[in-house]
C-alpha cells in the first residue's frame, strides 16, 4: 500500500491507523497534528482512522516564525 | 508611577507584556531563548510546518520555550489562500490546544503583503469555528474595519512589509485605524529598531509584534531588551498626555531673577524679543 506522508511516497506492508503511524515516527507524545487528505484528524480519532491506499497524510509540528 | 503598566487583556488571556515576539531566524535556539527572556514578552509566535521525516528533532523549538512563562501564538505564515490558512490554524489548535491564531494570508513571496479577500474569508471562517483571530492586515483603515466586523479579536496592521525594518511608514493610516477600531490594535511587522516600537505604541497601539528586528540584529538579546523597554516607554508616553508641538521655543527656566546682563551695543537686540 502506497501513500504520501509529508509530500514523500511511503510503502506500508500492513494497514496502519493514524495512531500507529504517529507512534512509528516516535511522535506519540509530541505536540503534533495530523491531516489526511486535507482534513484534520483529531487525536481522539487517531486509533480508529485507518490509512488507505493513496492517502495524503500531513504530520505537522512547530518551527520558529513571526 | 501614576500611570501603571496595566495588564493587557486579549482574548481569554491577561498579558503582562504588550510586546509579542516571533521565534524565527535566530542564530541559535539558545539565543532565541535568551532574547525572549530579555524582551519581557509574554506571547511568542510559532509557525506550523511538516515534521522532517526520519529526524529526531521534532519539538526542538518547543523545548526551548518555557511554557510556564510564555503563551504560544501559532501563525499561518506561508499560506497564500484562505483554505490553507484555515487548515494550518486547525492543525495548530489540535496540536497545542490553544484557540487563538495569528492569521496571515499572503499575496506573494516578494512583498509578503496580505491578500485582503483571502484574509477576510479566512477570518470569517475561523471566527465561526471558535477561534480568537489576531488578524494580520495592511494599514488600510477600511480593511481594518472589515476585519473587525468579521469578529477578529485583534486587528494587526503592518507598519511596513514583513522583515523590511522600515518601521511605521504611514502613521496617519495607523491613527485612523486606532480611532476607528474598538478591538485591540497590535502593530505587526516592519519593526527595525526600538524607536519603531515606541512610535507604534505612542500612536496608541495596544501592542507590537515583531521578529526579524530582534532575530537578525547583531546582538539579538540586547535588541530584545531594547524592544521591550521601547514598548513600555511608548505605552506610558501615549497615556501621559504629550505636549503639543510648537514652531518656537518655550524656556524651561524662568526669565525672572537673571543676573545683571553684560552691556550690549544698542543695535544688538536679543533675538526673539
Fold that domain A2-60 belongs to in CATH: Ubiquitin-like (UB roll) (3.10.20)
- Chain A residue closest in CA terms to B212: A66
CA distance B208 to B202: 11
Q: What is the pLDDT of residue B3?
A: 53
Strands (DSSP E) found in B51-153 = 71-75, 100-103, 132-137
CA B141 to each of CA A34, B107, B145, B201, B208: distance values in angstroms, whole numbers, following the listed order: 37, 19, 6, 17, 17
- Kindly indicate whether the domain formed by B8-238 is annotated with CATH number 3.20.20.70: yes
- Chain A residue closest in CA terms to B210: A66
Question: Long-range contacts made by residues A6-9, C-beta under 8 angstroms, separation at least 24?
Answer: A6/A57, A6/A58, A6/A59, A6/B50, A6/B51, A6/B53, A7/B50, A8/B53
Mean pLDDT (10-residue bins), chain B, 273 residues: 71 94 95 96 96 70 93 97 98 96 96 96 98 97 98 97 93 97 96 97 97 97 97 95 94 93 75 63
Complex confidence, ipTM: 0.94
- Chain A residue closest in CA terms to B20: A66
Q: What is the pLDDT of residue B111?
A: 93
Q: What is the pLDDT of residue B55?
A: 62
CA distance B235 to A8: 49
List all residues 6 or more positions away from A53 whose beta carbon is below 8 Å from its beta carbon: A1, A2, A3
CA distance B237 to chain A (A): 26
Three-state DSSP at B188 gives strand
Cell numbers at B91, concatenated? 492543525
Q: What is the pLDDT of residue B1?
A: 45
Query: B49 vs A66: CB contact, 8 Å cut-off?
Result: no
Tell me if B192 sits within 8 A of B165, measured CB to CB.
yes
Phi and psi dihedrals of B50, rounded to 5? -60, 145
Domain boundaries, chain B: 8-238
Q: What is the pLDDT of residue B195?
A: 97
Q: Taking CB atoms and an 8 Å cutoff, what residues of chain B touch A5?
A: 53
Q: Which of B94, B96, B163 to mutate to test the interface with A (most CBs of A within 10 A)?
A: B94
Q: What is the pLDDT of residue A13?
A: 87
In angstroms, how far is CA B161 from the centroid of its own chain? 13
Q: What is the pLDDT of residue B264?
A: 77
Q: What is the pLDDT of residue B269?
A: 67
Q: What is the pLDDT of residue B272?
A: 62
Q: Is the dihedral of CA A58, A59, A62, A64 positive or negative?
A: negative
Query: A62 vs B95: CB contact, 8 Å cut-off?
Result: yes
User: What pTM value is reported for the model?
Assistant: 0.91
| Length of chain B as a residue count | 273
Q: What is the pLDDT of residue B103?
A: 98
Q: What is the pLDDT of residue B202?
A: 97
CA B97 to each of CA A61, B90, B92, B141, B158: distance values in angstroms, whole numbers, following the listed order: 13, 10, 8, 32, 27
Q: What is the pLDDT of residue B53?
A: 74
List all residues 6 or more positions away from B211 whose beta carbon is below 8 Å from its beta carbon: A65, A66, B21, B22, B23, B24, B25, B45, B163
Q: Active-site residue B109, yes or no?
A: no
Q: What is the pLDDT of residue A14?
A: 87
CA distance B120 to B155: 11
The catalytically annotated residue of B9, B12, B68, B102 is B102
Amino acid at each position: 500500500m502506497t501513500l504520501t506522508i509529508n509530500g514523500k511516497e511511503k510503502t506500508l506492508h500492513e494497514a496502519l491507523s493514524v495512531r500507529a503511524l504517529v507512534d512509528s515516527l516516535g511522535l506519540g507524545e509530541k505536540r503534533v497534528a495530523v491531516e489526511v487528505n486535507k482534513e484534520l484528524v483529531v487525536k481522539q480519532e487517531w486509533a480508529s482512522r485507518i490509512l488507505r491506499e493513496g492517502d495524503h497524510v500531513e504530520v505537522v509540528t512547530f518551527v520558529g516564525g513571526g | 508611577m501614576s500611570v501603571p503598566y496595566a495588564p493587557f487583556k486579549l482574548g481569554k488571556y491577561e498579558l503582562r507584556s504588550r510586546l509579542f515576539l516571533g521565534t524565527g531566524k535566530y542564530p541559535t535556539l539558545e539565543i532565541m531563548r535568551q532574547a525572549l527572556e530579555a524582551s519581557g514578552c509574554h506571547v511568542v509566535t510559532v509557525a506550523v510546518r511538516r515534521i522532517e521525516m526520519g529526524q529526531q528533532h521534532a519539538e526542538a523549538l518547543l523545548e526551548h520555550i518555557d511554557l510556564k512563562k510564555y503563551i504560544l501564538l501559532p501563525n499561518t505564515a506561508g499560506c497564500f489562500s484562505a483554505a490553507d490558512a484555515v487548515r494550518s490554524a486547525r492543525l495548530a489548535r489540535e496540536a497545542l490546544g490553544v484557540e487563538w491564531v495569528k492569521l496571515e494570508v499572503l499575496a506573494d513571496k516578494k512583498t509578503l503583503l496580505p491578500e485582503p479577500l483571502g484574509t477576510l474569508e479566512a477570518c470569517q471562517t475561523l471566527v465561526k469555528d471558535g477561534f480568537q483571530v489576531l488578524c494580520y492586515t495592511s494599514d488600510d483603515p477600511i480593511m481594518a474595519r472589515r476585519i473587525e466586523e468579521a469578529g477578529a479579536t485583534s486587528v494587526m496592521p503592518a507598519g511596513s512589509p514583513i522583515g523590511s525594518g522600515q518601521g511605521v511608514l504611514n502613521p496617519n493610516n495607523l491613527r485612523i485605524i486606532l480611532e476607528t477600531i474598538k478591538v485591540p490594535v497590535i502593530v505587526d511587522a516592519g519593526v527595525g529598531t526600538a524607536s519603531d516600537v515606541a512610535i507604534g505604541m505612542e500612536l496608541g497601539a495596544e501592542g507590537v509584534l515583531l521578529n526579524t528586528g530582534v532575530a537578525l540584529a547583531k546582538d539579538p538579546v540586547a535588541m530584545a531588551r531594547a524592544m521591550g523597554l521601547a514598548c513600555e516607554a511608548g505605552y506610558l508616553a501615549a497615556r501621559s498626555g504629550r505636549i503639543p508641538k510648537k514652531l518656537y521655543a518655550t524656556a524651561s527656566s524662568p526669565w525672572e531673577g537673571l543676573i545683571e546682563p553684560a552691556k550690549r551695543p544698542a543695535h544688538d537686540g536679543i533675538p526673539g524679543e
